[in-house]
């Protein structure tokens, strides 16, 4: 099943009484036979953007946490008949990567089906019309994604020739009538196929797409992208002599395969905390890393940063270069890209858009705010780690840290948790303002050096990467905020209070 509004399609019932053509019929387009149900809200003609003909290297349909699993469960519940769902999405482009974030789901009621069977379904046109009206009224979605099932197919699902013709006609109508994009998914009982329709050389053309979920536990295989096991990665997974042989025994071969082949991680900030996180990632099998940091190694960094030595500090070497070389000595087969810039750099967006996770380990509010904004913009899950050591009269009064997991769809972010201070962002980003705020006691001065020790950083880096691994294994219950304290005695606990007291209607993540 796929959408279709053109003549001759069997997917929708023909117009009945009380149905009139959309006003674009006056333009003489024979395929634009979308219909207007009896309603007081007509579909107006949106201003059309120029539809580009560029071919995207990567197209990803990203789902909020849990939504793809719920979609499959609902549509595949009855194996005796096809089922249909309609998703609304927002499109984001970064370089040659196109991201479509799913922001809403709709499912027809029984009365919205004209007919259906194990290999056929037909929807009433009023149902599709109502969804188009809703998209126009809300204005927050620019992409329509139809989903249908092939319950008769066990695996290797593919769009049928009828699907191709029906969707091509519908996409032609959308592009010639409304300023709207169109994608489609088909589900079998064990895999999926996805595509985005685009205009290339004036023709409606299907482009393969990949479904991305927030966690590996929700992952489902793509029938279009049979996993290609590279020989060098297979060597790392060899159960006898492989680099990851002991990890396979602990985490399992399936988990390690996905980590090795399918995951790209961005580490934002590779100082005393982020460098240890990056090292843990390499040791645990992640082969594709982006290291992001503009700072250079200083002598005072050497008590905690991993991979840098005295000569690096004397030469003022970039942290990302020192850490990258260290990681490649551990695993020369890894692909590690060093970005000697801050997270605020716009040129980073194409690399970040393709990441599966962002590991945030910076100590500035401005960089943490920007990283969280990018994660929400592209629907990327984020894990933020931070440490604190308070010293009074030469005595440690607090040694602690926390790890926050902010998956898109969980309605949780650093902003609603109060972990980002607008005053501090202003002090860090507006020239001269930081000194004024420091004089007035609003913020610490920029020249104030914070106490730091590697033992605390190592504990929080380990907790952060262990939290990431749990998103693959599901061995423990998910805890969005975990706190480590080493005061009266070391302990780790879930911070339920911060979770409950966060701003529920957050402007950023709600």
Distance of CA 293 to the CA centre of its chain: 21
Element holding 470 (H helix, E strand): helix 454-473
Q: What is the CB-side half-sphere exposure of residue 107 using CA atoms within 13 A?
A: 11
Lowest mean pLDDT among 188-192, 211-215, 354-358, 442-446: 442-446
Q: What is the CB-side half-sphere exposure of residue 226 using CA atoms within 13 A?
A: 3
- The predicted pLDDT at position 12 comes to 42
Pinpoint the alpha helices (H) of 316-364. Answer: 319-330, 349-353
Question: 121 φ, ψ to 5°?
Answer: -155, 155
In the predicted model, what is the mean pLDDT of the chain? 85
Edge-to-edge strands, sheet with 490-494: 335-339, 288-292, 264-268, 357-360, 382-392, 395-406, 481-486, 490-494
The residues near 440 (Cβ < 8 Å, ≥ 6 apart) are: none
Q: Are 42 and 34 in contact (CB under 8 A)?
A: no
Least Cα distance to 91 among 353, 352, 351, 347 occurs for: 353
Read off the pLDDT of residues 23-70 as tens digits, 9 standing for 90 and up. Answer: 332 222 222 223 323 333 333 333 333 344 456 779 999 999 999 999
- Give the whole-number percent of the chain exceeding pLDDT 70: 84
The residues near 358 (Cβ < 8 Å, ≥ 6 apart) are: 265, 266, 268, 352, 371, 374, 375, 380, 381, 382, 383
Indicate if the pLDDT at residue 493 is higher than 70.
yes
Higher pLDDT: 380 or 255? It is 380
Q: Are 194 and 185 in contact (CB under 8 A)?
A: yes
Indicate if the pLDDT at residue 20 is higher than 70.
no
Cα separation of the two ends of the chain: 33
Alpha-carbon torsion 318, 320, 323, 327, what sign?
A: negative
Domains of the chain, start order? 20-47+54-218 (3.40.140.10), 263-418+450-501 (3.40.50.720)
Read off the pLDDT of residues 116-126 as tens digits, 9 standing for 90 and up. Answer: 999 888 999 89
Read off the pLDDT of residues 209-266 as tens digits, 9 standing for 90 and up. Answer: 999 999 999 999 999 875 444 445 668 888 878 888 888 889 888 888 888 888 999 9
Indicate if the pLDDT at residue 404 is higher than 70.
yes
Query: What is the crossing angle of helices 365-378 and 422-429, to 10°?
Result: 110
Least Cα distance to 146 among 214, 179, 193, 94 occurs for: 193
Indicate if the pLDDT at residue 439 is higher than 60.
no
Read off the pLDDT of residues 126-166 as tens digits, 9 standing for 90 and up. Answer: 998 888 888 888 888 999 999 999 999 999 999 999 999 99
- The predicted pLDDT at position 6 comes to 40
DSSP per-residue letters across 404-469: EEE-TTSS--TTTTT-S-HHHHHHHHSTTHHHHHHHTTSS--TTPPPP--HHHHHHHHHHHHHHHH
The residues near 176 (Cβ < 8 Å, ≥ 6 apart) are: 24, 29, 31, 32
């Amino acid at each position: 099943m796929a959408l279709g509004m053109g003549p001759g399609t069997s997917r929708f019932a023909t117009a009945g009484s009380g149905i009139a053509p959309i006003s674009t019929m006056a333009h003489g387009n024979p395929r634009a036979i979308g219909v207007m149900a009896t309603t007081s809200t007509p579909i107006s003609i949106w201003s059309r953007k120029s539809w580009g003909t560029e071919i995207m290297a990567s197209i990803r349909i990203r789902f909020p946490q849990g939504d793809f699993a719920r979609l499959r469960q609902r549509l595949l519940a009855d194996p005796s008949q096809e089922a249909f769902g309609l998703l609304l999405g927002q499109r984001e482009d970064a370089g040659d990567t196109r991201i479509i974030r799913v922001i809403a789901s709709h499912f027809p009621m029984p009365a919205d089906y004209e007919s259906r069977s194990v290999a056929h379904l037909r929807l009433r046109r009023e149902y599709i019309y109502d969804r188009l009206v809703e998209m126009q009224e809300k204005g927050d979605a620019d992409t329509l994604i139809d989903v249908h099932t092939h319950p008769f197919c066990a695996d290797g699902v593919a769009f049928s020739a009828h699907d191709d013709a029906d969707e091509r006609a519908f996409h032609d109508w959308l592009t010639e009538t409304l300023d709207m994009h169109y994608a489609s998914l088909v589900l079998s009982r064990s895999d999926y196929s996805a595509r985005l329709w685009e205009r290339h050389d004036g023709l409606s053309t299907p482009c393969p797409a990949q479904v991305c979920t927030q966690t590996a536990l929700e992952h489902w295989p793509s029938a279009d992208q049979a996993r290609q096991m590279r020989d060098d990665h297979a060597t790392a997974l060899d159960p006898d002599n492989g680099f990851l042989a002991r990890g396979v025994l602990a985490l399992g071969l399936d988990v390690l395969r996905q980590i090795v082949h399918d995951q790209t991680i961005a580490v934002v900030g590779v100082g005393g905390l982020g460098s240890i996180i990056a090292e843990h990632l390499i040791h645990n099998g992640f082969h594709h890393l982006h290291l992001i940091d503009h700072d250079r190694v200083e002598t005072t960094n050497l008590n905690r940063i991993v991979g840098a030595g005295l000569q690096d500090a004397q030469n003022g070497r970039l942290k990302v270069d020192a850490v990258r070389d260290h990681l490649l000595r551990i695993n020369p087969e890894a692909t590690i890209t060093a970005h000697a810039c801050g997270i605020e750099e716009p040129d980073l967006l194409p690399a970040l858009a393709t990441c599966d996770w962002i590991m945030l380990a910076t100590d500035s509010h401005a960089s943490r705010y920007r990283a969280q904004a990018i994660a929400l913009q592209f629907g990327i899950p984020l894990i933020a780690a931070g440490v604190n050591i308070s010293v009074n009269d030469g005595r440690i009064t607090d040694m602690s840290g926390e790890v926050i997991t902010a998956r898109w769809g969980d309605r949780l972010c650093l902003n609603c948790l109060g972990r980002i201070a607008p005053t501090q962002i202003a002090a860090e980003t507006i020239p001269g303002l930081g000194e004024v705020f420091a004089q007035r006691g609003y913020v610490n001065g920029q020249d104030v050096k914070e106490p730091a020790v590697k033992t605390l950083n190592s504990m929080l880096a380990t907790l952060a990467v262990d939290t990431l691994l749990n998103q693959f294994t599901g061995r423990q219950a998910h805890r969005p905020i975990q706190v480590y304290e080493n005061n009266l005695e070391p302990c780790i606990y879930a911070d339920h209070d911060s979770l409950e007291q966060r701003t529920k209607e957050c402007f950023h993540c709600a």
